[in-house]
Amino acid sequence: MTTAALGDAQWQALATPRPAPLDDAPRVSIGSVDLAGVDFAGTASISSASGDVAVLELIGAGLLRRRDVHFVERRRFLAAEAAERQGLPRPPDAAPLGVSAPAELVAEISWLRLGGTSVAEIRLVDPTSGGVTSSERVNVPADAGPVGFARRVTGALLSQIERVRDLPAWSDPVSNSAEWLTGAIPTAAFEAFRNGTAAEDLSRWEEARRAYQSASRLAGVEFVEAEVALARTARLRNGGTLGGS
Protein backbone atom coordinates (compact mmCIF):
# COMPACT_ATOMS: atom_id res chain seq x y z
CA MET A 1 0.00 0.00 0.00
CA THR A 2 1.30 3.42 -0.97
CA THR A 3 2.24 5.54 2.03
CA ALA A 4 3.38 8.72 0.29
CA ALA A 5 0.87 11.56 0.06
CA LEU A 6 -0.60 12.14 -3.38
CA GLY A 7 -0.14 15.32 -5.35
CA ASP A 8 -2.99 17.40 -6.73
CA ALA A 9 -2.82 15.79 -10.17
CA GLN A 10 -3.08 12.30 -8.69
CA TRP A 11 -6.03 13.34 -6.54
CA GLN A 12 -7.69 14.84 -9.59
CA ALA A 13 -7.36 11.51 -11.39
CA LEU A 14 -9.16 9.79 -8.52
CA ALA A 15 -12.01 12.31 -8.51
CA THR A 16 -14.17 10.65 -11.15
CA PRO A 17 -17.43 12.55 -11.67
CA ARG A 18 -20.45 11.58 -9.66
CA PRO A 19 -22.99 9.71 -11.84
CA ALA A 20 -25.62 12.19 -13.02
CA PRO A 21 -29.13 11.09 -11.99
CA LEU A 22 -31.54 10.47 -14.84
CA ASP A 23 -34.66 12.57 -15.25
CA ASP A 24 -37.40 11.47 -12.83
CA ALA A 25 -34.94 9.56 -10.65
CA PRO A 26 -36.41 9.62 -7.11
CA ARG A 27 -34.34 11.47 -4.50
CA VAL A 28 -33.45 8.99 -1.77
CA SER A 29 -31.54 9.28 1.51
CA ILE A 30 -30.53 6.75 4.13
CA GLY A 31 -31.80 7.91 7.51
CA SER A 32 -30.39 5.30 9.85
CA VAL A 33 -29.17 1.73 10.09
CA ASP A 34 -29.73 -0.07 13.40
CA LEU A 35 -27.75 -3.27 13.88
CA ALA A 36 -28.39 -3.65 17.61
CA GLY A 37 -27.83 -7.28 18.56
CA VAL A 38 -26.36 -8.39 15.24
CA ASP A 39 -23.31 -10.62 15.32
CA PHE A 40 -21.42 -10.98 12.06
CA ALA A 41 -18.86 -13.71 12.62
CA GLY A 42 -15.28 -12.47 12.56
CA THR A 43 -16.19 -8.80 12.54
CA ALA A 44 -15.20 -6.80 15.59
CA SER A 45 -17.79 -4.55 17.22
CA ILE A 46 -20.11 -4.47 14.23
CA SER A 47 -23.02 -3.50 16.46
CA SER A 48 -21.16 -0.40 17.65
CA ALA A 49 -22.04 3.01 16.24
CA SER A 50 -19.10 2.87 13.82
CA GLY A 51 -20.37 -0.45 12.49
CA ASP A 52 -23.84 0.96 11.91
CA VAL A 53 -22.32 3.95 10.10
CA ALA A 54 -20.11 1.76 7.92
CA VAL A 55 -23.05 -0.39 6.80
CA LEU A 56 -25.08 2.77 6.18
CA GLU A 57 -22.22 4.05 4.02
CA LEU A 58 -22.07 0.76 2.11
CA ILE A 59 -25.77 1.08 1.27
CA GLY A 60 -25.30 4.74 0.39
CA ALA A 61 -22.42 3.91 -1.94
CA GLY A 62 -24.59 1.24 -3.57
CA LEU A 63 -27.12 3.97 -4.38
CA LEU A 64 -24.61 6.72 -5.19
CA ARG A 65 -23.15 4.69 -8.05
CA ARG A 66 -26.54 4.46 -9.78
CA ARG A 67 -28.31 6.84 -12.16
CA ASP A 68 -31.86 5.55 -11.69
CA VAL A 69 -31.94 7.01 -8.18
CA HIS A 70 -30.67 10.37 -6.98
CA PHE A 71 -28.82 9.64 -3.77
CA VAL A 72 -29.02 12.56 -1.34
CA GLU A 73 -26.27 12.73 1.28
CA ARG A 74 -27.93 13.07 4.67
CA ARG A 75 -25.71 11.96 7.55
CA ARG A 76 -22.65 14.15 6.91
CA PHE A 77 -24.71 17.02 5.52
CA LEU A 78 -27.02 17.26 8.54
CA ALA A 79 -24.09 17.06 10.98
CA ALA A 80 -22.24 19.85 9.17
CA GLU A 81 -25.43 21.91 8.87
CA ALA A 82 -26.06 21.63 12.62
CA ALA A 83 -22.48 22.72 13.37
CA GLU A 84 -22.86 25.69 11.02
CA ARG A 85 -26.11 26.78 12.70
CA GLN A 86 -24.33 26.69 16.06
CA GLY A 87 -21.62 28.95 14.69
CA LEU A 88 -18.89 26.35 15.06
CA PRO A 89 -15.82 26.87 12.85
CA ARG A 90 -15.38 24.49 9.95
CA PRO A 91 -12.46 22.13 10.67
CA PRO A 92 -9.33 22.55 8.54
CA ASP A 93 -9.62 20.79 5.15
CA ALA A 94 -13.31 20.02 5.75
CA ALA A 95 -15.55 20.12 2.70
CA PRO A 96 -18.00 23.03 2.53
CA LEU A 97 -21.67 22.35 3.11
CA GLY A 98 -22.93 23.27 -0.32
CA VAL A 99 -26.57 22.89 -1.36
CA SER A 100 -28.47 19.64 -1.00
CA ALA A 101 -31.57 18.64 -2.90
CA PRO A 102 -34.37 17.58 -0.55
CA ALA A 103 -34.98 13.86 -0.32
CA GLU A 104 -38.36 12.50 -1.34
CA LEU A 105 -37.86 9.20 0.46
CA VAL A 106 -35.73 8.38 3.50
CA ALA A 107 -34.88 4.76 4.22
CA GLU A 108 -34.77 3.55 7.82
CA ILE A 109 -33.17 0.11 8.15
CA SER A 110 -33.02 -2.21 11.13
CA TRP A 111 -31.90 -5.76 11.78
CA LEU A 112 -34.23 -8.22 13.46
CA ARG A 113 -33.97 -11.82 14.54
CA LEU A 114 -37.26 -13.64 14.20
CA GLY A 115 -36.82 -17.12 15.61
CA GLY A 116 -33.78 -18.50 13.81
CA THR A 117 -34.13 -16.16 10.85
CA SER A 118 -32.20 -12.95 10.21
CA VAL A 119 -34.43 -10.23 8.79
CA ALA A 120 -33.83 -6.70 7.57
CA GLU A 121 -36.73 -4.32 8.01
CA ILE A 122 -36.77 -1.45 5.53
CA ARG A 123 -39.11 1.48 5.97
CA LEU A 124 -39.49 4.27 3.44
CA VAL A 125 -40.44 7.50 5.19
CA ASP A 126 -41.81 10.71 3.72
CA PRO A 127 -39.44 13.32 5.21
CA THR A 128 -42.06 16.07 4.93
CA SER A 129 -44.87 14.34 6.82
CA GLY A 130 -42.83 11.78 8.74
CA GLY A 131 -45.29 9.13 7.63
CA VAL A 132 -44.23 5.64 6.56
CA THR A 133 -44.74 5.29 2.81
CA SER A 134 -43.79 1.62 2.65
CA SER A 135 -42.46 -1.05 4.98
CA GLU A 136 -40.99 -4.42 4.10
CA ARG A 137 -39.03 -7.23 5.74
CA VAL A 138 -36.55 -9.33 3.78
CA ASN A 139 -34.64 -12.41 4.84
CA VAL A 140 -30.88 -12.13 5.06
CA PRO A 141 -28.66 -15.23 4.63
CA ALA A 142 -27.41 -16.48 7.98
CA ASP A 143 -23.80 -16.38 6.77
CA ALA A 144 -23.99 -12.86 5.31
CA GLY A 145 -21.19 -10.58 6.41
CA PRO A 146 -21.73 -6.83 6.74
CA VAL A 147 -21.11 -6.21 3.04
CA GLY A 148 -23.45 -9.06 2.09
CA PHE A 149 -26.06 -7.63 4.46
CA ALA A 150 -25.68 -4.15 2.94
CA ARG A 151 -25.99 -5.48 -0.59
CA ARG A 152 -29.05 -7.55 0.27
CA VAL A 153 -30.64 -4.46 1.77
CA THR A 154 -29.64 -2.29 -1.19
CA GLY A 155 -31.25 -4.67 -3.67
CA ALA A 156 -34.43 -4.96 -1.57
CA LEU A 157 -34.54 -1.19 -1.07
CA LEU A 158 -34.35 -0.57 -4.81
CA SER A 159 -37.18 -3.05 -5.42
CA GLN A 160 -39.23 -1.33 -2.74
CA ILE A 161 -38.60 2.11 -4.25
CA GLU A 162 -39.61 0.73 -7.65
CA ARG A 163 -43.01 -0.23 -6.23
CA VAL A 164 -43.50 3.26 -4.81
CA ARG A 165 -41.96 5.23 -7.66
CA ASP A 166 -41.13 3.96 -11.13
CA LEU A 167 -37.37 4.05 -11.67
CA PRO A 168 -36.12 5.35 -15.01
CA ALA A 169 -34.51 2.81 -17.33
CA TRP A 170 -30.80 2.42 -16.64
CA SER A 171 -28.12 -0.08 -17.67
CA ASP A 172 -25.88 -1.20 -14.81
CA PRO A 173 -22.23 -0.72 -15.79
CA VAL A 174 -21.17 -3.49 -13.39
CA SER A 175 -20.88 -6.36 -15.84
CA ASN A 176 -21.76 -9.14 -13.40
CA SER A 177 -24.07 -7.21 -11.08
CA ALA A 178 -26.10 -10.29 -10.07
CA GLU A 179 -22.99 -12.12 -8.89
CA TRP A 180 -21.56 -8.91 -7.43
CA LEU A 181 -24.60 -8.45 -5.21
CA THR A 182 -24.04 -11.83 -3.58
CA GLY A 183 -20.24 -11.97 -3.68
CA ALA A 184 -18.35 -12.42 -0.43
CA ILE A 185 -16.11 -9.62 0.80
CA PRO A 186 -13.54 -10.57 3.48
CA THR A 187 -13.87 -9.12 6.96
CA ALA A 188 -10.50 -7.35 6.63
CA ALA A 189 -11.76 -5.46 3.58
CA PHE A 190 -14.86 -4.35 5.45
CA GLU A 191 -12.77 -3.19 8.40
CA ALA A 192 -10.61 -1.14 6.02
CA PHE A 193 -13.76 0.37 4.50
CA ARG A 194 -14.96 1.27 7.99
CA ASN A 195 -11.61 2.95 8.69
CA GLY A 196 -12.01 4.92 5.49
CA THR A 197 -15.46 6.11 6.52
CA ALA A 198 -14.17 7.24 9.92
CA ALA A 199 -11.26 9.13 8.35
CA GLU A 200 -13.49 10.73 5.72
CA ASP A 201 -15.82 11.97 8.47
CA LEU A 202 -12.83 13.77 10.00
CA SER A 203 -11.70 15.17 6.62
CA ARG A 204 -8.49 13.15 6.83
CA TRP A 205 -8.37 12.69 3.09
CA GLU A 206 -5.05 10.84 2.80
CA GLU A 207 -6.00 8.43 5.57
CA ALA A 208 -9.38 7.82 3.97
CA ARG A 209 -7.81 7.29 0.56
CA ARG A 210 -5.37 4.71 1.87
CA ALA A 211 -8.08 2.87 3.77
CA TYR A 212 -10.44 2.68 0.79
CA GLN A 213 -7.64 1.54 -1.50
CA SER A 214 -6.67 -1.07 1.09
CA ALA A 215 -10.29 -2.23 1.19
CA SER A 216 -10.28 -2.75 -2.57
CA ARG A 217 -6.96 -4.60 -2.41
CA LEU A 218 -8.01 -6.85 0.49
CA ALA A 219 -11.35 -7.70 -1.12
CA GLY A 220 -9.71 -9.83 -3.79
CA VAL A 221 -12.74 -9.14 -6.02
CA GLU A 222 -14.38 -5.96 -7.25
CA PHE A 223 -15.40 -3.89 -4.22
CA VAL A 224 -17.58 -1.30 -5.93
CA GLU A 225 -18.60 0.49 -2.74
CA ALA A 226 -14.98 1.19 -1.79
CA GLU A 227 -14.32 2.56 -5.28
CA VAL A 228 -17.37 4.83 -5.05
CA ALA A 229 -16.31 6.08 -1.61
CA LEU A 230 -12.77 6.75 -2.83
CA ALA A 231 -14.02 8.84 -5.75
CA ARG A 232 -16.29 10.81 -3.41
CA THR A 233 -13.38 11.41 -1.03
CA ALA A 234 -11.32 12.74 -3.92
CA ARG A 235 -14.14 15.04 -5.04
CA LEU A 236 -14.49 16.41 -1.50
CA ARG A 237 -10.75 16.82 -1.09
CA ASN A 238 -10.60 18.70 -4.41
CA GLY A 239 -13.19 21.28 -3.36
CA GLY A 240 -16.47 19.45 -3.75
CA THR A 241 -19.32 20.05 -1.34
CA LEU A 242 -21.18 17.68 0.96
CA GLY A 243 -24.39 18.45 -0.84
CA GLY A 244 -22.98 17.87 -4.31
CA SER A 245 -20.49 15.05 -3.94
Tens digit of pLDDT at every position of the chain (245 positions): 446 889 999 999 999 999 999 999 999 999 999 987 666 655 554 545 567 899 999 999 999 999 999 999 999 999 999 999 999 988 889 999 999 889 999 999 998 877 777 889 999 999 999 999 999 999 887 777 889 889 989 999 999 999 999 999 999 887 665 555 555 788 899 999 999 999 999 999 999 999 999 999 999 888 999 999 999 999 999 999 999 99
On whether residue 219 sits in a domain, the answer given is: no
On whether residue 161 sits in a domain, the answer given is: yes
Nearest to 61 by CA among 231, 218, 176: 231
User: At how many degrees (to 10) do helices 205-219 and 187-201 cross?
Assistant: 170
* pLDDT of res. 114: 76
Give CA–CA dist 56/59, Å, rounded.
5
Q: How many domains does the chain have?
A: 1
On whether residue 173 sits in a domain, the answer given is: yes
Taking 3-state DSSP, the helix, strand and coil percentages for the chain, each rounded to the nearest 5, stand at 40, 15, 40
On whether residue 81 sits in a domain, the answer given is: yes
Is residue 183 within 8 A of residue 216, CB to CB? The reply is no
Nearest to 126 by CA among 105, 111, 152: 105
On whether residue 215 sits in a domain, the answer given is: no
Range of the domain at 105: 20-183
**Residues contacting residue 122 through CB under 8 Å, at least 6 positions apart:** 107, 108, 109, 135, 136, 137, 138, 153, 156, 157, 160
Buried b (16+ CB within 10 A) or exposed e, 177-191: eeeeeebebbbbbbb
On whether residue 192 sits in a domain, the answer given is: no
- Residue 108's CB is within 10 A of a number of other CB atoms, namely 16
User: Residue 30 is part of a domain; what is its CATH number?
Assistant: 3.40.50
On whether residue 208 sits in a domain, the answer given is: no
On whether residue 232 sits in a domain, the answer given is: no
* pLDDT of res. 41: 55
The enclosing H or E element of 8 equals helix 8-14
Is residue 16 within 8 A of residue 64, CB to CB? The reply is no
- Residue 110's CB is within 10 A of a number of other CB atoms, namely 18
